[in-house]
Amino acid sequence: TPQRQAPQRVVHEDDRHSLTRDVNLPQVLSSHIQSLSDLSLLTSRVHESGWCWVVIDSNTHEPNTLFLWDVNAKPAKLLQFRVDTTTTAKLVSIAFLQSYAQAAPSLLICSESGDVLYWPSVHNTRTNVTLPLPLTGAAGGSMTASEKACIVRDVPGVGFLLATSTSRVFSLVPQGPALRFRSLSTTQGLLSGIGAMFGFSRGAGAGSPPRSLLTIPLSRHSATVYLLSEKDLTQRTISIGLPSSSSGDSDTLNWQIPLHSMVSNQLKTVSGLSRGTLVVRLLSLQSGSNGTLYVLVASMPSGVASPLITYTIHQLILNQTSPSSPPTFGAHQVLKYNPEVPVGRQDAFFDILDFVIPQGGPSAFIVWPTAIVCCHVPTDDRVLDVIPFIKRNSIVFGAGVFSSAPRGDASIMSSLYGVLRIRELGPTKRKARVLTNPRSNSMNSQRGRGESAGSIGGGGATKRGKRDISESSTMSVEMESVNRQVGLLEDAISRFIDGDTNSELTSELTVAMRPLYSNADQAVLHYSQASLDSLPHTQPIWARKSGNTANSSMFVQQRLEEKMEAHGALLDFLHNSKIFQTLSLETREKLSTHGEKLAAASNFRKAAHQFDTKEELEIVGKAIQELLHEKRWTHHAIVSTGLGEQDFFYSKVTEIEDIAPSLVALVVAEEKRIFERVGNEESGGTFASRGQQNKFSVVLNVTNNLVKILFDAALTFREDSESYYLNPGEERGRLPWTASTTMRRCLRTLCEINVRQLKRGGLLVPPNPSASLAAANQIEASFLSLYDYYDCYLTGFAEERDLLMASSGETSEETLRFSKKFQEEVAKAINPFKLAQRWEIARKIAEKYCAFTLLLQICQASGELERIPDYLDRFRNDNFANELFSWYLNSGRYSELISIPEAYWADLSLFLESHPQVEWLHQIQMKSYNRAALSLLDVAKEESNRLGRRKELLSLSKLASYAASESVDTSQCEALLYLTTFQEELVERELVSASSPALQPTEAIKLLIASGSSQNWPDESVFTLSLDLLLNVKSILSGSQFEQQLKYVWAQCLARDPWETIAAKFRSTSSATDSVVEARLLNTVFYLVGTQRISMLTDAVLLSLTASFPEEVQRIISMTFSLATR
Chain mean pLDDT for the chain = 74
Higher pLDDT, 203 or 30: 30
More confident residue, 988 or 61: 988
Is 972:1036 a contact under the CB 8 Å cutoff? yes
CA distance 173 to 38: 37
pLDDT, greater one: 1002 or 817: 817
Asked if 91 and 99 count as a contact pair (C-beta separation under 8 A), the reply is no
Q: What is the pLDDT of residue 732?
A: 81
Write out pLDDT tens, residues 273-324.
Answer: 555 577 888 888 888 877 888 998 888 777 666 667 788 888 888 877 777 7
Digit-coded pLDDT (tens) for 583-598: 888 888 899 999 999 9
**What is the rounded (10 degree) CA torsion for 826, 832, 838, 842?**
0
Interacting residues of 691 by C-beta distance below 8 A, sequence separation 6+: none
Helix extents (H) in 726-772: 741-760
Q: Taking residues 215-240, what's their average pLDDT?
A: 83
The answer on pLDDT for 558 being more than 60 is yes
> Among 583-587, 688-692, 1004-1008, which is the least confidently predicted range?
688-692
Among 379-383, 645-649, 703-707, 1079-1083, the minimum mean pLDDT is found in 379-383
Can you give the pLDDT at residue 554?
63
Q: What is the pLDDT of residue 479?
A: 44
What is the reported pLDDT for 828?
Answer: 92
| Predicted local confidence at residue 48, as pLDDT | 80
The yes-or-no verdict on residue 799 having pLDDT over 60 is yes
Q: Where are the alpha helices (DSSP H) in 1033-1108?
A: 1039-1055, 1059-1068, 1074-1081, 1085-1093, 1099-1106
Angle at 865 between CA 863 and CA 871, to 5 degrees: 140
Share of the chain above pLDDT 70, in %: 75
Residue 755's pLDDT band, with cuts at 50, 70 and 90, is very high
Q: How many CB atoms lie within 10 A of CB 996?
A: 16
pLDDT, position 1: 37
Lowest mean pLDDT among 7-16, 102-111, 195-204, 263-272: 195-204
Kindly indicate the confidence band of residue 165, based on its pLDDT and cuts at 50, 70 and 90: confident
pLDDT value of position 396: 80
Which of the given ranges, 725-729, 817-821, 1013-1017, 1034-1038, has the highest pLDDT on average? 817-821
Taking residues 217-239, report their average pLDDT: 83
With bands split at pLDDT 50, 70 and 90, how would you rate the model's confidence at 467? very low
Determine the average pLDDT of the residues in 982-986.
Answer: 76
CA-atom Rg of the chain in angstroms = 42
Closest CA to 69 of 88, 92, 45: 45
| Distance from chain centroid for Cα 473 | 46
Judged by average pLDDT, the poorest of 202-206, 370-374, 506-510, 551-555 is: 202-206
Q: Average pLDDT in the 442-466 region?
A: 33
Q: Report whether 465 contacts 457 (CB < 8 A).
A: no
What's residue 271's pLDDT?
61
Q: How far apart are CA 602 and CA 596, in angstroms?
A: 10
Beta bridge partners of 182: 139, 171
698 pLDDT more than 80: yes
User: Does residue 59 have a pLDDT over 70?
Assistant: no
Q: What is the pLDDT of residue 829?
A: 92
Average pLDDT of 556-576?
83
pTM above 0.75, yes or no: no
What is the layout of strands, in order, in the sheet containing 292-301? 278-287, 292-301, 310-317, 328-334
According to the model, what pLDDT value does residue 516 have? 62
Higher pLDDT, 682 or 343: 343
Give residue 459's pLDDT: 33
pLDDT of 306 reads 60
Instruction: Provide the CA 843 distance to its chain's centre, in angstroms.
Output: 15
> Is the peptide bond preceding residue 7 cis, with omega within 30 degrees of 0?
yes
Q: What is the pLDDT of residue 3?
A: 40
pLDDT greater at residue 443 or residue 135: 135
Confidence category of residue 545, pLDDT binned at 50, 70, 90: very low
Task: State CA 583 to chain mean position distance.
Answer: 30
Note the pLDDT of residue 1069: 60
Instruction: Please report, rounded to a whole number, the percentage of residues in the chain having pLDDT higher than 90.
Output: 4
Q: For the chain, percent helix, then strand, then coil, each to nearest 5?
A: 45, 15, 35
1021-1031 pLDDT, tens digit per residue, is: 778 888 888 88
- Would you place residue 101 in the very low, low, confident or very high pLDDT band (cuts 50, 70, 90)? low
pLDDT at 832: 92
Higher pLDDT, 609 or 844: 844
- Which pLDDT does position 1014 carry in this prediction? 54
Q: How confident is the model at residue 915 (pLDDT cuts 50, 70, 90)?
A: confident
Residue 220 confidence (pLDDT):
66
Q: Per-residue pLDDT averaged across 1075-1104, rounded? A: 79
Q: Residue 892 to residues 862, 875, 886: CA-CA distances in angstroms?
A: 19, 23, 10
DSSP symbols for 309-374: PEEEEEEEE--SS-TTSPPEEEEEEE-S--PBPPTT-HHHHHS-SEEE-GGG-SEEEEEETTEEEE
Residue 686's pLDDT band, with cuts at 50, 70 and 90, is: very low
Q: Reply yes or no on whether the pLDDT at 451 is more than 50.
A: no
What confidence score (pLDDT) does residue 248 get?
Answer: 60
User: Model confidence at 830, in pLDDT bands (50, 70, 90)?
Assistant: very high
Count how many residues are written for the chain: 1126
Residue 620 pLDDT more than 60? Answer: yes
Confidence of residue 503 (pLDDT cuts 50, 70, 90): very low
pLDDT over threshold 70, residue 505: no
Top pLDDT among 986 and 254 is at: 254
pLDDT digits (tens, 9 = 90+) for 1010-1060: 776 555 566 777 788 888 888 888 888 888 888 888 888 888 888 787 888
Of 264, 363, 275, give the one whose Cα is nearest residue 314: 264
